[in-house]
Amino acid sequence: IAGITQAPTSQILAAGRRMTLRCTQDMRHNAMYWYRQDLGLGLRLIHYSNTAGTTGKGEVPDGYSVSRANTDDFPLTLASAVPSQTSVYFCASSETGQNEQFFGPGTRLTVL
């Protein structure tokens, strides 16, 4: 692994289903982030983690949850997907909360 990986690359999901988007980094960065990117809008922060064991809510956290059991992994879970959660999801990490962020390749999620 080099940098940040996300899985799956894309997914079509029925409304009401549960889904976990995976994110793994091998840079030993302390901070990790989940964003969604929708056409015409800027990146919007869903949840973040400044260090393993801690998480925080971003701008649009409703309907999503995260965990940070270790430094490398930061999964994002949609408990019961809705069509408005159709988006491209990016995971990012930074050495600390004050450095530039490095982004994973993204997951394109469609909820029908």
Partner 1 sequence: GQNIDQPTEMTATEGAIVQINCTYQTSGFNGLFWYQQHAGEAPTFLSYNVLDGLEEKGRFSSFLSRSKGYSYLLLKELQMKDSASYLCAVRNGDYQLIWGAGTKLIIKP
Which residues lie near partner 1 (CB under 8 A)?
Answer: 40-45, 90, 97-98, 100-106
What is the rounded CA–CA span in Å between residue 45 and residue 80?
19
The nearest distance, CB 80 to partner 1, in angstroms, is: 27
Minimum CB separation of residue 20 from partner 1 in Å reads 20
Coil, helix or strand for 27?
A: coil
Nearest to partner 1 of 63, 103 (CB atom): 103
**Which amino acid would we find at residue 52?**
A
CB 106 within 8 A of CB 5: no
Complex with partner 1: residue 1 or 41, whichever CB lies closer? 41
